[in-house]
Amino acid sequence: MTLPLRLSRARGTSAPRQRTYVFNWAGRIGLAIIVMWCAVAIIGQWFTPYPVGKIVDWNFFGPVSAKYWMGTDYLGRDIFSRVMMGARYTVGIALAAVTLACALGVILGMIAAVMGGWFDTIVSRLLDAFNGIPSLLFGLVVVAAVGSSIPVLILTLTAIYMPGSYRFARALAVNINTMDFVTVARARGEATPYLILREIFPNIVGSVLADLGLRFVFIVLVLSGLSFLGLGVQPPNADWGALVRENIEGLSYGAPAVIFPSLAIASLTISVNMFIDNLPTRIRDRSE
Amino acid sequence: MLKSSTTWLLVAKRLGIALITLVIVSFAVFFATQLLPGDVAQILLGQAATPEAVAGLREAMGLNEPAILRFLHWLTGLATGDLGISYVNHMEISNLIAGRLANSLKLAGVVAALSTPVALCLGILASMWRGTLLDRTISILTIAVISVPEFMIATLAVLIFAVWLGWLPALSYGVDVDSLGAILRAYALPVITLSFVVSAQMIRMTRAAMIETINTPYVEMALLKGASRTRMVLVHALPNALGPIANAVALSLSYLVGGVIIVETVFNYPGVAKLMVDGVATRDLPLIQSCAMIFCFSYLSLTTLADMIAILSNPRLRR
């Protein structure tokens, strides 16, 4: 754990901090693909070549052609348009869930680390217990009970990944909490909120962001898994996992309708991994 | 090696934590399924049922008792093997699950037996020749496998082995498993898919555990005194990395739990996970609860086992 020391030295001094981070090519490619999918998720709606739900071709499981760039699905709908629209669900839901999970987890983790005592023990024990439920299974049980809708999906995914985020943030915060500058701040008589916001948080934010990226990948995987089982985003809407499920019949013909949504998922998750793995060590100084 | 009493105390403590966790998990599973909007008795009898019939069924099913009492009933039932009765086909759930569980365990056992030796060899090789082409290839492949969903590995396996090569039947668990060849062919795709998922995890963890040991001063010392790389890794590092590696194996095997759900669905394999996913479609809550508890139990046992191996093999964890 050398990061907190280094960062803490940078803090407080008014000298301009060096802000230029150098990314290598693998990181740049990863970032480019992430940005592309985010852009598709936000504005893709207005650029789909065909209406998403419209049957454009009588030929189901059609091949790749100049008219239909990714072929057509089991009803003869344009896959390219559906993948563009699917980005909105996959990226949107995963992003919302990961933001919620990390925000809650990090805040709770920092509070637990700073307060310690019974609060720390109880929260840690409870959340560890939740870690004892396999993630996909948790999703299955909740969806079986309350049915699937987008808010339910977001909250379920948040609940699945919040404990991990909590544990990660708490471990980092506990280390920072023993540093001299925190002790000094305590001795100054600063209140707990100040300690958390001004002393602890700035020193763990880099690692937390890297962790957020990894968790995003897991959430995308579980979300696609749920959708693939038919329990995620419900028809007529479809995220990428649901697109694979819809068209799984076409697998025996090697239809592009199965392959392209799968490729979309893979490109997103692999590029996030590539980006995180190649972050400059200054940002990504993980405790591993 | 004689373990001191404090070690066993730690192991016992870990077991106790696992037990408490299991109770909390069962609590969560039970109450998550209680969130179902609407009245179970009403759902079972349909809209046309008279209020008297609904009230009678509620009474018979014990739905009028407070939730906590029903939870305790359910928990004691679980412990004694009484899993309740399915809402959908009114069969004993223990009968429904028994055969399916054997199938799932068979699948998991074959995968574990197949992927553990391969993954250990590859992981140790990668750490031995760290930074070489071999290591990089293995790393990139494992990252690729880990970053894509399990169902994609499954579809890819079908594409390659069933569609392009035509060696295996696609998406079917043949009912006519009379000959050895047929059994092998029916098992092949699920086993291949799961093995990939589990091995990738295991290779990464094994490699990380080995590299941590290789980086210690005494292994460096072995290299400096002139031991070959093979000797350095296999004789000096490996014995000390056995604990972390065993830990990694147990942890990776817990990934089987999630993978099995997807793989059984994709390949229509008659295991517990398929039963559960079908149960979700028909909202058969007692069935879902029981299956969920089976999965949570196996997952918890594996992670607990991993922790206990870590405690037993690493004196520093005993404080």
CB contacts under 8 A, B 203-262 vs A, are 254, 257-258, 261-262
At B318 the pLDDT is: 57
CB < 8 Å to A136, chain B: 258, 261-262
pTM: 0.82
pLDDT average, residue stretch A213-227: 89
- pLDDT tens digits along B84-143: 777 777 778 888 888 888 888 888 888 999 999 999 999 988 988 888 888 888 988 888
CB < 8 Å to B254, chain A: 134
Burial of A219 (0-12, 13-18, 19+ CB in 10 A): buried
**Any idea what the CATH number is for the domain that residue B147 is in?**
1.10.3720.10
Measured CA to CA, the distance from residue A209 to residue B207 in angstroms comes to: 25
Q: How many domains does chain B have?
A: 1
Q: Does B170 touch chain A (CB under 8 A)?
A: yes
What's the half-sphere exposure (Cβ side, CA atoms, 13 Å) at A219?
Answer: 33
- pLDDT tens digits along B12-50: 888 888 888 888 888 888 877 766 655 666 666 666 677
- pLDDT tens digits along A10-69: 444 444 445 556 667 778 888 888 888 888 888 877 777 777 777 777 777 777 777 777
Query: Could you please report the per-residue DSSP string of A235-283?
Result: TTS--HHHHHHHTGGGGGGT-HHHHHHHHHHHHHHHHHHHHHHTS-TTT
pLDDT average, residue stretch A251-262: 79
Nearest CA to A142 out of A224, A218, A232, A217 is that of: A232
At A4 the pLDDT is: 44
Residue B51: inside a domain, yes or no? no
CB contacts under 8 A, A 143-162 vs B, are 143-146
Lowest mean pLDDT, pick from A153-162, A166-175, B32-41:
B32-41
Residue owning tokens 């995620």: A232
Q: Does A125 touch chain B (CB under 8 A)?
A: yes
Measured CA to CA, the distance from residue A218 to residue A135 in angstroms comes to: 9
B42 CB neighbour count, 10 Å cutoff: 15
Residue B49: inside a domain, yes or no? no
Residue B30: inside a domain, yes or no? yes
Q: Does A269 touch chain B (CB under 8 A)?
A: yes
Per mean pLDDT, which of A216-220, A277-281, B2-6, B177-181 is the most reliable? A216-220
Using DSSP's 3-state secondary structure scheme, residue B6 falls into: helix
Asked if CATH classification 1.10.1060.10 holds for the domain at A20-279, the reply, yes or no, is no
- pLDDT tens digits along B217-235: 888 888 888 888 888 888 8
| Residue A241 and residue A228 in contact, taking contact as beta carbons nearer than 8 Å | yes
Positive or negative CA dihedral for B32, B36, B39, B40?
Answer: negative
Q: Which of A132, A140, A270 sits opposite B25 (nearest CB)?
A: A132
Residue B76: inside a domain, yes or no? no
Q: Does A128 touch chain B (CB under 8 A)?
A: yes
- Structure tokens given for A280: 């400059």
* CB neighbour list of residue A106: distance below 8 Å, 6 or more residues apart: A165, A166, A169, A201, A204, A208
Torsion angle of the four alpha carbons B180, B184, B186, B188, in this order, in degrees rounded to the nearest 10: 180
Residue B262: inside a domain, yes or no? yes
Q: Which residue of A has its CA nearest to B169?
A: A252
Q: Which of A144, A252, A269 sits opposite B147 (nearest CB)?
A: A269
At A16 the pLDDT is: 47
CA distances from B46 to B21, B53, B62, B174, B261 (A): 37, 11, 19, 36, 30
DSSP H stretches of helix in chain B: 5-33, 40-45, 51-61, 67-80, 93-128, 133-147, 150-157, 180-214, 217-224, 229-231, 238-253, 255-266, 272-282, 285-313
* Structural domain boundaries enclosing B180: 2-36+83-318
Q: Which of A229, A253, A273 sits opposite B265 (nearest CB)?
A: A229
Query: Using the beta-carbon criterion (under 8 Å), do B258 and A146 form an inter-chain contact?
Result: no
Using DSSP's 3-state secondary structure scheme, residue B9 falls into: helix
**Mean per-residue pLDDT over chain A, rounded:** 80
| Residue B67 and residue B34 in contact, taking contact as beta carbons nearer than 8 Å | yes
* CB neighbour list of residue A202: distance below 8 Å, 6 or more residues apart: A7, A11
pLDDT average, residue stretch A155-175: 89
Residue B176: inside a domain, yes or no? yes
Beta bridge partners of A77: A55
At A100 the pLDDT is: 94
Query: Could you please report the per-residue DSSP string of B157-183?
Result: HIIIIIIIS--S-SS---S---SHHHH
Residue B75: inside a domain, yes or no? no
Q: In degrees, to the nearest 5, what angle opens at C-alpha A77 toward C-alphas A72 and A82?
A: 90
Positive or negative CA dihedral for B214, B220, B222, B228?
Answer: positive
CB < 8 Å to A214, chain B: none
**Inter-axis angle of helices A79-115 and A117-131, to 10 degrees?**
150
Q: Kindly report the nearest CA distance between residue B268 and chain A, in angstroms.
A: 12
At A2 the pLDDT is: 39
CB contacts under 8 A, B 280-309 vs A, are 280-281, 283, 285, 288, 292, 295-296, 299-300, 303
Residue B128: inside a domain, yes or no? yes
Measured CA to CA, the distance from residue A273 to residue B148 in angstroms comes to: 11
Q: ipTM, 2 decimals?
A: 0.78
Measured CA to CA, the distance from residue A102 to residue B40 in angstroms comes to: 36
For residue A171, pLDDT beyond 60: yes
| Residue B134 and residue B203 in contact, taking contact as beta carbons nearer than 8 Å | no
Query: Using the beta-carbon criterion (under 8 Å), do A251 and B37 form an inter-chain contact?
Result: no
Q: Does B28 touch chain A (CB under 8 A)?
A: yes
- Structure tokens given for A288: 């591993």
Comparing A3 with A95, the larger pLDDT belongs to A95
Task: Tell me what percent of the residues of chain A surpass a pLDDT of 70.
Answer: 88
CB < 8 Å to B34, chain A: 145
pLDDT average, residue stretch A266-271: 88
φ, ψ of residue A236 in degrees (nearest 5): -80, -10
- pLDDT tens digits along B132-185: 888 888 988 888 888 888 888 888 888 888 777 777 766 555 545 556 666 677
Residue type, B174: G
